[in-house]
Structures are given as C-alpha cells and as structure tokens.
Structure 1
Amino acid sequence: MKVARNTPQQLILSDTPWFFGILFALNTLIFAALGLLLTWAGGSAFWYGLSMIIFGGAMGLWSFHLLVRRVQVIFDRTKGTLVIRQKSIFGYAAIEHALSDLSNAEVETILNKPAWLFASRHRPVLLLDKGMSAGRHPIIQAFSTGTCAERITGTVNDWLAARGGDPGTRSA
C-alpha cells in the first residue's frame, strides 16, 4: 500500500497488487494452454484437457477475484468523508463514512505458530468510534510482513492529528 496523495485537505492511500495479479493470470493461462494442448491431442487426453481448461481456468479466475483487489482509501476534509473503494474483476464497491466518526488507525497483528519459524503478519485498521459503522475496519484484507502497516497507520494518524489535537480526540 502506498500514499498516493497527502495534502492538508486530502489523504489518498492506494493498493494495487500487481504481483499477485500477474501470478494468478499466468497460472490461469498455463492451465488453459496445457488443457488446449491435451484436447488437441485427442483420444482419452481430450477429457483431461477439457477438465484442465474448465477447472484450472475456473480456479484461476476465482483466486484472481478473491485475492486481487485494487483498494483506494480517500480521507477528504473538504467533504468530511472517508471512502473505501474496492475493485475486482467482477465488481466495484465503495463504502463511505463520515470523517468525524474516525478516531484513529491501528495495526492489527496475527501471530503465527511457531513464532520462531514464521514472522507475524500485520494490516492497517481504521477505528470508527461513532455512527452506524462503529468498529474496526481493515484498510486492506490481506495481512503482510514488514513495516507497511506501521507506516500507513502512522501516515493516517499524522494526517488526522493535523486537523487539531490527537488522533483520538476531536476538536469541536
């Protein structure tokens, strides 16, 4: 996830998972190509090829739809809104909240077992303390290793603090 714009009036965060998009697209194309080769071979290989095309292509598209989503989060002081947009190959969704409902951002962590073998994974989460959508709202669904989540939450909290006061307090 990266910061696309950071001005006093607007903060835009953007995430486009290019690596996974290319990975799942190539996976789907390889299964379809191998399936086509088997169907052209004829005989009993025809049915194997056809099943590779159908199941391999369907699993590739399903994986692509679930795991490859472009996410854009827009914090806008002029409109007083927080918009979370998600786009996949099968649809588009936008969720809008009042910016005044947002208290701060936090890092959500999951610990893997055994901890000595696997690193902990993190994701940035927005905390809405008022309104109908009060609760924790992940900015992105996937957890990742590294410092990206800390960097994004720091950027959001700094931007919120610039409106006056701490991220957890409101100016009247």
Structure 2
Amino acid sequence: MKIKHNTPELLIVGETPWFLAIMLLFFTLTFVAIGLLTLTQHWAGLIFVFVGGGMGVGAMGVFVERLQLILDARAQTLTLRSRTMFRYTERVFPLADVIRAETETGRSNSRNGVNSGQTLSRPVFVIRNKSGTDGTVTKPVTAVLSSGTGAATVTGAVNEWLKALRDTNDLASATDLT
C-alpha cells in the first residue's frame, strides 16, 4: 500500500495491483485468442474460450482488489474501501473510536517442517468496541497478508497522522478553555 495523499485534514492510502491485473488480462486474452483461432477448425476451441477465459476472469475477480483507506479530519471518519470485479465494500468508523493502527504479522507456510516461511504482514486498526463491553476490536484493512514493508509504512503514517490530529485538537480545546 502506498500513501496517496497526506495533509493535516486528509490521509489517503491506497493500493491498486496493476501488474497482477495486466498479467491476468494477458492470460485471459491468450486463452480466448487460442480458442477463437481453434474454433475456426474445431469446436473444441469453445473449451479454450470458456474454460481458459473463465479462469482468467475468475482469477481477476478474486486476486485483483483495489484497497483504499481514508482518514478524514473534517468528517471525523475512517473509511475502508475494497473493490473487486464482483463486489464493493465500504466500512466507515468514527475517527474518535480509532485508537491506533498496528501491523499484524504471520508466517507463510514452511516447507518440510522447517520454519523457513517468509514473514507476512497487514495493517489493522484498533477500534473501541461499541457492543456494550469495554475493550477494543481489531479491524484489518485487507484479508490478505503480504510481504514487504508496506504494512509497516502505512501503520507508521496513520499513527503519525492520528497523533498530529489529536495534538491539534488538544491544543484547540486547551485554548478554548482560557
């Protein structure tokens, strides 16, 4: 994930997997083209068109997910958006309920019983639990853990933004009291 916009009023973090989308598009078009060329000589080309093309479209629907996370100081909201070819989800939380961001980590599958798996991570938000119990609940930005430093970068940027916002609000409320 990358930071797209960072001002005191608005922080937008997003990810669009263009490389994966383009590779899956080429995969799909290759199978459809082979199927259409074969269809001129034999009906089995339909298998290439529907099975190969269908697998490519299905893979794009599952693996190509556009993520966006918006922290808006004016609206006082945290918005988590996710879009694939087949679904769109948007979750909105009051910014006052967001305590902090954290990086959740895990290990990829190890081979031959040796713990040589790669460390994977994803950003999550720690939010006040509104279901009547005191405590917190974590809300992941995405269901997928990935390698690299993107999750740690996003977590750091979100926590810095929240700290700056809260320091500004504390300063404003302290001057209102005098």
What is the TM-score when the length of structure 1 is the normalising length?
0.85
Instruction: State the Cα distance separating 1:159 from its structure 2 match.
Output: 0.8
1:107–1:125: 8 Å Cα contact kept in structure 2? yes
1:96 matched residue in structure 2: 92
Q: CA RMSD in A?
A: 2.0
Instruction: State the Cα distance separating 1:130 from its structure 2 match.
Output: 2.9
- Identity between Structure 1 and Structure 2 (%): 36
Q: Tell me which amino acid in the other structure corresponds to 2:49.
A: I
1:6 matched residue in structure 2: 6
Q: Equivalents in 2 of 1:67, 1:136: separation in Å?
A: 23
Structure 1 segments (4+ residues) deviating >6 Å: none
SS at match of 2:71: strand
Q: Tell me which amino acid in the other structure corresponds to 1:58.
A: G
1:82–1:99: 8 Å Cα contact kept in structure 2? yes
What is the TM-score when the length of structure 2 is the normalising length?
0.82
Q: Is 1:124 aligned with 2:113?
A: no
1:104–1:157: 8 Å Cα contact kept in structure 2? yes
Question: Of 45, 63, 68, which residue of structure 1 is paired with 2:59?
Answer: 63
Instruction: State the Cα distance separating 1:81 from its structure 2 match.
Output: 0.5
1:102–1:130: 8 Å Cα contact kept in structure 2? no
Q: Unaligned regions of 5+ residues in structure 2, if any? A: 168-172, 174-178
Instruction: State the Cα distance separating 1:89 from its structure 2 match.
Output: 2.2
Instruction: State the Cα distance separating 1:93 from its structure 2 match.
Output: 2.4
Q: Is 1:86 aligned with 2:82?
A: yes
2:170 matched residue in structure 1: none
Q: Tell me which amino acid in the other structure corresponds to 2:29.
A: L
Question: Of 142, 145, 153, which residue of structure 2 is paired with 1:140?
Answer: 142
Q: Equivalents in 1 of 2:137, 2:31: separation in Å?
A: 42
Q: Equivalents in 2 of 1:70, 1:80: separation in Å?
A: 23
Instruction: State the Cα distance separating 1:152 from its structure 2 match.
Output: 0.7
Instruction: State the Cα distance separating 1:131 from its structure 2 match.
Output: 2.8
SS at match of 1:27: helix
Alpha-carbon displacement from aligned partner over 1:90-136 (angstroms, at most 9, x marks no partner): 343221111111111111112121433x321111111212335x622
SS at match of 2:118: coil
Q: How many residues align?
A: 161
SS at match of 1:115: coil
Alpha-carbon displacement from aligned partner over 1:36-55 (angstroms, at most 9, x marks no partner): 1221122xxx22x2112111
